[in-house]
Amino acid sequence: MNMSTRYMGLALPHPIVASASPLTRTLDSIRQLEDHGAAAVVLPSLFEEQILQEQAAYRHLMEAGAESFAEALNYFPESDAADRCSDRYLELIDSAITGVDIPVIASLNGVSAAGWVEFATNIEAAGAVAIELNIFYIATDPNETGTTVEQRYIEVLRSVKSAVSIPVAVKIAPFFSAPANMIRQLVDAGADGVVLFNRFYQPDFDIEKLAVSPVLDLSRPVDIRPGLFWISLLSDQIDASIAASSGVNSSAEVIKYLLAGADVVMTTSALLRLGPEYIASLHEGLTEWMQRMGFASIEAMRGTMSRKNLPDVEAFERTNYIEVLDSYRPRWG
Ligand SMILES: Cc1cc2nc3c(=O)[nH]c(=O)nc-3n(C[C@H](O)[C@H](O)[C@H](O)COP(=O)(O)O)c2cc1C
């Protein structure tokens, strides 16, 4: 059976990829993911804020010492300390690409097209095969329009693309007025791949402490639905690779995403719950299902349930929406 797939030009032996998480934070855990069969790994994100903070600390030190170059040099040990975050990131890339044979994708997370994006060149020089650009921007200003927000995404992508020649995928959340058009715009602006979707970790309220509390819930199978919908709608309409992300808890979700048209399927929550060895179970479940259903390759099954066969998707979705609401039978009333 041919399980191979391609993602942004990378030839992978199968489509199951470990997405950015604490499990890809050290060489040891990346090795475990490789040993248990991950086709590729995405490193945790380096954040715009971390890079800007280091750049500001460096500028501050240089300005403070501008009167005397010799004196300025005294600041360098401290400057080294301030640089550690991005240095450590480059060291992680370096150790991962020499320590494992699977492709290592770096991840940058930011919201503005400022000087930090130049760090992408260091990532490329360190040997990452691709960059995943996680743009996580929450438009809280009621005066900011959707068009401005979309433009911001495009500008961040363009800046990173102009800094590197390795492929760049954009990871976004589904919360746009017109996600299909936003994704098309990103591809037109040069995205080699799209990661659909990021999860939005909304904070909760602690009603005893009257405080806002950050919460991180691991995903459930139902969380595949937005990705499943948009991937099945877009997989034959965009000229870029598609990575499915969110909600993979078993091989069933991997299969669904591939049927929708994803090139690779990423997973984090399942691996955090069950350990890196769970990759082998996901792979086994996928191959067992393909055998049973008579699919000889990933290529043969990929996209077979995409929406391209529906003449009028919009009408179909409206009908589906009405039918779903109508079919619910309440226990009371
Ligand atoms: C603890 C934790 C840390 C994460 N760190 C990152 C990160 O650094 N960068 C990123 O793009 N996504 C990060 N994610 C998001 C995952 O890569 C993934 O997109 C998300 O968990 C949805 O996939 P899942 O349903 O398989 O968990 C993180 C998720 C978790 C649970």
* Ligand 1 center to 127 CA (angstroms): 22
* Ligand 1 center to 266 CA (angstroms): 10
Residues whose CB is less than 8 angstroms from the CB of residue 312 and which lie 6 or more positions away in sequence, other chains included: none
Residue 100 is predicted with a pLDDT of 98
Judge contact between 261 and 236, C-beta under 8 A. Answer: yes
Residue 21 is predicted with a pLDDT of 97
Q: For ligand 1, atom 23, which residue shows the shortest CA distance?
A: 246
Q: Note the pTM of the prediction, 2 decimals.
A: 0.91
pLDDT digits 0-9 by tens, 228-268: 999 999 999 999 999 999 999 999 999 999 999 999 999 99
User: Measuring CA to CA, which residue among 83, 82, 99, 91 is closest to residue 34?
Assistant: 99
Q: How far apart are CA 198 and CA 230, in angstroms?
A: 13
Domain extent listing, the chain: 5-327
What average pLDDT does the chain have?
91
User: Measuring CA to CA, which residue among 154, 151, 194 is closest to residue 170?
Assistant: 194
pLDDT band, residue 85 (cuts 50/70/90): confident
* Ligand 1 center to 58 CA (angstroms): 30
- Ligand 1 is surrounded, with C-beta below 6 A, by 19-22, 44-45, 107, 109, 134, 171, 198-199, 216, 218-219, 223, 245-248, 267-269, 272
Q: How far apart are CA 186 and CA 43, in angstroms?
A: 22
DSSP SS3 for 173: coil
Residues whose CB is less than 8 angstroms from the CB of residue 277 and which lie 6 or more positions away in sequence, other chains included: 36
Residues 163-169, mean pLDDT to the nearest whole number: 97
Helix (H) or strand (E) holding 132: strand 130-134
pLDDT digits 0-9 by tens, 317-326: 788 888 888 8
268, 271, 278: residue to mutate for ligand 1 pocket, most atoms within 8 A of CB: 268
Judge contact between 150 and 176, C-beta under 8 A. Answer: yes
Q: Which CATH superfamily is domain 5-327 in?
A: Aldolase class I (3.20.20.70)
Q: For ligand 1, atom 28, which residue shows the shortest CA distance?
A: 21
